[in-house]
């Protein structure tokens, strides 16, 4: 191999490394959009919903913050319901998302899961995806 080729390959590898480092630094500095939410409904499903939102939110460009009281300032109100399965039916649930003026923004419905926890998990994941699409932060 000639010296010119070695220098060219070294230069090419240096440029590629710099580009990869710049891309990695850029993706780590993307600001998350804060979204405050008031959640009400099935008290046994709310903790799972909050955990999924906090886990999946950053992946979709969202920083979910939750308020405790309806009188607190929030961007969206979420009404959550989930029912477990029985001998005759699978678990199912719904999420209704409203803005701060109580106008429906979108809904999520999931069914055919074995447990209410599984339904809540599926609904919560879909909620995060739809919220990211709605707020145009999806990646």
| Euclidean distance between CA atoms 120 and 117, whole angstroms | 5
| Euclidean distance between CA atoms 33 and 28, whole angstroms | 14
Return the CATH fold of 33-134.
Rossmann fold (3.40.50)
**pLDDT band for position 23 (50/70/90)?**
very low
Q: How many CB atoms lie within 10 A of CB 130?
A: 18
The structure's pTM equals 0.69
> What mean pLDDT comes out for the span 71-81?
90
pLDDT at residue 68 tops 70: yes
Tell which residue, 89, 128, 123, 121, has the closest CA to residue 109.
123
Tell which residue, 77, 79, 130, has the closest CA to residue 100.
77
- 83-124: per-residue pLDDT in tens? 665 544 567 688 899 998 889 988 887 766 566 667 777 888
Write down the domain spans for the chain: 1-30, 33-134
């Amino acid at each position: 191999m000639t010296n010119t080729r070695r220098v060219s390959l070294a230069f090419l590898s240096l440029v590629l490394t710099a580009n990869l480092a710049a891309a990695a630094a850029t993706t780590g500095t993307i600001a998350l959009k804060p979204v405050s939410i008031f959640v009400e409904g099935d008290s046994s499903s709310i903790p799972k919903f909050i955990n999924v939102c906090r886990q999946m939110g950053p992946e979709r460009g969202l920083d979910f913050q939750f308020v405790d009281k309806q009188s607190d300032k929030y961007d969206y109100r979420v009404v959550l319901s989930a029912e477990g399965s029985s001998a005759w039916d699978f678990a199912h649930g719904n999420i209704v998302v409203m803005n701060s003026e109580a106008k429906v923004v979108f809904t999520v419905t999931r069914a055919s899961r074995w447990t209410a926890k599984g339904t809540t998990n599926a609904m919560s994941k879909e909620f995060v995806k739809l919220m990211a699409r709605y707020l145009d932060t999806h990646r």
